[in-house]
A and B are shown apart, each in its own frame.
Chain A
């Protein structure tokens, strides 16, 4: 059984926003709704770090726990999806989400994409796969085509990884080994000297 996860390798993310526009491209997400965005901390300072963030598809998802109309559901592979027909657009999920993933269309509660919109891991919604209704409400369903999320597939530096958690962690582990762990090795500074103090 797979469990789908995203991982953003902060050593590689350069805040190019390729993931953000890949998502816009694939799902034609309307202006103002960003299912994925890149967050930069220490902007313009030593140890500037960028990370691409969307719904993390939590195993025990807080949004699911708090939704008053229980519109969320989780697929067998751990993707957290929701039913826009059931959603009432209350925003309680945003309140609960540790990552700010839920998005709310600007053009009122009944905008193109329904009341709440978020990353679907490119897995569509409850409607029939590849149906017009699914496409209009949730965007494309790449998972049903045997493809993975486009944001990760198009990442300029392969910082953003998506897929079965085991595979993602294998890839990341291999990188960490390649980078090494001696003093001054890539990534060590962030892990052990986050303040960027000069040694």
Chain B
């Protein structure tokens, strides 16, 4: 042992010039380079000599550098993964990536742990007499397959439920939806149902597409931002880079509407702590001030908005006193916020789960859109509805409609939609039809409809598909087998019922990199199978970020343990079921792995509705290799091989790849030609309604030759306009009798765009949706409300007999008064360290260490009134008889009368520790009660989104 200090430590460094640059030469360069970086980006990443450092490492010749995208949220952060001898040894910041500039949150900065995967599910396993047993892939596929075929024989294909995933890449998501179609069911869904389904429905029904209109980067141009039920500091931390950039560089004002004083609210100019579930009242309250003061954009409304007068009638009721009674926000707060939005334009609205996860979710999302339309903020740089999606590929999986109500590209389930996809798949429509149950269990307009054309059971209700009396379910039989393919069970409400359903099933199958809480929740002793899937770092393909950009991922490492990529597992099942040849008719299969690029090319041939047609594998790879050429704010490549294109070719990227459409950075922005990413609102709802014109008036994209609103394009319209001969002879053959959505040649789109027109027509956005339960969004009290005084004035809907094949309760629950026994409003949200159900992130020790306890946030008033001390154990009880045992965190972050619980935890159930039930060595490092064990009944009236943001509870000391 040395007891003398070293006086000349730098001596050793002088001698090691063989490993990169010496410390001395580094210092020599640092000052000069740093100035350059800081001036160039104004965001000044602290890195000073990136280019030199990278070349130094590369010249050492050890590590191979892969370009991938973080899998933890939809911001889509770029990552450099260093791989040596097949081992993921280093993670370097991608300073040249246009979305994140090298930055990461806790999850992104801990990505490399995926290369360790110690707590992964390592082999196919099954439960036999209560014990986990290893098995081979072949045996697993055979056993599960035989069981499913038996159920299919007895109860029809709808008795097997295929629950897919927002963690699949685009190619896997597309193949999964196709796979379910060939199994013959619409009982297929994924996480989008329970995160943003109300957004997709509400927004698409307002102006055409149900996606984020602008981008994180474009928020740099905002002058005002209102975040509603969105906490990016925890859920999308790198989005905060862009939000704070706007605040710092553009002097943008930030308003945060959230019942909690969140980490994001702490960065805001104004916090609006609304009562959970009072969003519509708050928005109409803001609009009340806008209309009262004439702050609306009248020209914009005249040209581009339909039905706002009906909204005005409703808004009149929301005077400041009534708004305060319902939301708890006073006149001064509302006036200030409205004025900020009205006097700082362009402004943008951001919303997340706090707005969507309600029985009234579709009303909330439409109200947010209406506010922005009245202010004239949609279709403008710096404006827009910047809806932050959740999982890394939830946007892509939504677009490919791993959903029970549509085929890929939002084509729906009509015969026409099936015929379109049969043509793309080059399969006989009658064969596909024959795969489905031929019975009929529902009527539409008095006529019987077949299961092939009726919405399947959504993931939020699969439990009822199992437990509900067979006579009440609009399909042949109950669900008997459930496949959780990349989906955590603790993201769904009503934990007790879910456990019951899991125990009742004939068969329970998990396909996932981790065993997930599904493996421990039920008491069943057999009939549970666990199949190890890889993460996205062990395969490759494309992923769609929240802003609609498609990014290509390299494969970082080979599959760990005995795991297989999801598309390989799909192929194995298809082979077992006998439709592998049809599934992969035009997709090359290497061994048992379908070729990713061929899958991309196949969906390119069919996704005309939303422009997933121009993003060929080659174009996406070109963007991936040229991250550095895309601008940090406009996302446009300036020079380089992708010159003029927008990063990731955000959809719609119209026409064929050969047409070289640059992608659409900002939806509905008429300041550019359609050929350069310009657009207008979609003509989706006809050309007139109740005698009034629905088409745009005097507003059109630059270069539009029609210079006015117009309907969507079809062969007939082209002929009428005299543009038919602009099609080539081949295109004419393909386009005859088709429209812009079904012409597989892309000719109709090409010619429309050539004349400066959007293929989908040019209409007004509508603030009245006549096909929804509420034409104009109305405030309706949550089913479980503590405010009985408001129930009479703002009641929920009547119960429904069949909504997505199931009876759905509204009024019958709201009529019951639980407010005396359960006086505290219960809401839920996220933590930065974890994602979704948390099985993956709680298995990462670098993350798990930072958040080791499930907790409930209580205001000191509620804590003291219930005898609760900070840090003590408490029970949170909810009206349906569930209870969870968690730690109390006493804080002013929540208002008196509101309790907050984070989701992500699992492994404990109503006080019972389930850790011993995981397969050996695969229990996550941290476990806790699931928030959704306690969360109660309640589903959106349009999409069956679950209510997980408002319930009621009582707190008792444990």
Q: Which A positions have Cβ atoms within 8 angstroms of B?
A: 1-2, 11-12, 14-22, 24-26, 31-32, 43-50, 69-77, 81, 83, 85-86, 126, 128-130, 143-148, 150, 152-158, 160-164, 166-168, 170-171, 174-175, 178-180, 186
Contacts and interface: CB of A to CB of B under 8 A. Distances in A.
25 contacts: A14-B263, A15-B233, A16-B234, A17-B833, A17-B850, A18-B104, A21-B107, A24-B846, A45-B892, A48-B266, A73-B9, A76-B10, A83-B2, A83-B5, A146-B26, A150-B93, A150-B109, A153-B47, A157-B103, A158-B241, A161-B44, A162-B46, A163-B46, A171-B44, A175-B44
B19 A129 contact: yes
Q: Which 10 A/B pairs are nearest by Cβ-Cβ distance?
A: A44-B893, A167-B34, A17-B106, A21-B110, A24-B846, A22-B109, A16-B237, A14-B233, A171-B44, A48-B266
**Among B57, B240, B894: residue with most chain A CB under 10 A:** B240
B12 A81 contact: no
Given A43-B893, A152-B46, A174-B38, A145 B57 contact: yes
Nearest to A127: B12
Contacts of B27: 1-2, 77, 164
B133 interface: no
Contacts of A15: 233, 263, 832
Contacts of B430: none
B81 to A, nearest CB: 11
B11 to A, nearest CB: 10
Interface in B235-263: 237-238, 240-241, 244, 247-249, 251, 261, 263
A167 B237 contact: no
Contacts of A143: 23, 26
B104 A148 contact: no
B34 A164 contact: yes
Given A83-B2, A155-B103, A18 B237 contact: yes
A14 B262 CA distance: 10
A18 B108 contact: yes
Nearest to A149: B46
Given A73-B9, A75-B9, A163-B46, A147 B893 contact: no
Contacts of A19: 109
Contacts of A18: 103-106, 108-109, 237
B93 A154 contact: yes
B431 to A, nearest CB: 50
Contacts of B93: 150, 153-154
B46 A86 contact: no
Contacts of A153: 45-47, 93, 95, 102
A146 B56 contact: yes
Contact of A146 (B21, B106, B833): B21
B893 to A, nearest CB: 3
A147 B29 CA distance: 12
A73 B46 contact: no
Contacts of A166: 31
B588 interface: no
A100 B109 CA distance: 23
A64 B244 CA distance: 38
B517 to A, nearest CB: 23
**Among B45, B53, B57, B91: residue with most chain A CB under 10 A:** B45
Contact of B30 (A25, A69, A164, A178): A164
Nearest to B249: A178
B106 A171 contact: no
A49 to B, nearest CB: 8
A170 B45 CA distance: 12
Contacts of B266: 47-49
B849 A144 contact: no
Contact of B103 (A77, A154, A170): A154
Contacts of B23: 75-77, 143-144
Nearest to A160: B46
A146 B892 CA distance: 45
B20 A146 contact: yes
Contacts of B110: 21-22, 24-25
Nearest to A72: B5
A146 B56 CA distance: 8
A150 B82 CA distance: 14
B522 interface: no
Interface string B263-283: 110110000000000000000
B819 to A, nearest CB: 26
Nearest to A142: B53
Interface of B: 1-7, 9-10, 12-13, 16, 19-23, 25-27, 30-31, 34-35, 38, 42-49, 52-53, 56-57, 90-93, 95, 100-113, 233-234, 237-238, 240-241, 244, 247-249, 251, 261, 263-264, 266-267, 832-833, 845-847, 849-850, 891-894
B217 to A, nearest CB: 14
Given A12-B244, A44-B261, A156-B238, A164 B31 contact: yes
Given A156-B105, A156-B240, 5 more contacts: A16-B240, A21-B846, A145-B56, A148-B48, A171-B34
Contacts of A160: 46
Contacts of A31: 845, 849
B44 A21 contact: no
A158 B103 contact: yes
Contacts of A144: 13, 16, 19-20, 22-23
B613 to A, nearest CB: 34
B244 A157 contact: yes
A161 B38 CA distance: 12
Contacts of B893: 43-44
B45 A157 contact: no
Given A86-B1, A156-B105, A156-B240, A21 B30 contact: no
A186 B38 contact: no
A31 B926 CA distance: 13
B274 to A, nearest CB: 17
**Among B107, B264, B849: residue with most chain A CB under 10 A:** B849
A18 B111 CA distance: 11
Nearest to B60: A145
Contacts of B233: 14-16
A179 B102 CA distance: 23
B849 A32 contact: yes
B106 A16 contact: yes
A168 B44 CA distance: 9
A71 B4 CA distance: 7
Contacts of B92: 147
A25 B46 contact: no
A167 B891 contact: no
A12 B242 CA distance: 11
A20 B109 CA distance: 8
Contacts of A86: 1-3, 5
A152 B457 CA distance: 47
Given A18-B106, A73-B5, A167 B35 contact: yes
Nearest to B109: A22
Given A18-B104, A146-B53, A156-B104, A178 B248 contact: yes
B112 A126 contact: no
A145 B237 CA distance: 29
B191 to A, nearest CB: 22
A168 B31 CA distance: 10
Contacts of B22: 144
Nearest to B832: A16
A66 B435 CA distance: 79
Nearest to B261: A44
A16 B106 CA distance: 6
A72 B52 CA distance: 30
Nearest to B893: A44
A115 to B, nearest CB: 11
Contact of B53 (A43, A73, A147, A179): A147
A71 B46 contact: no
B457 to A, nearest CB: 37
B16 A128 contact: yes
B96 to A, nearest CB: 13
Contacts of B31: 2, 164, 166-167
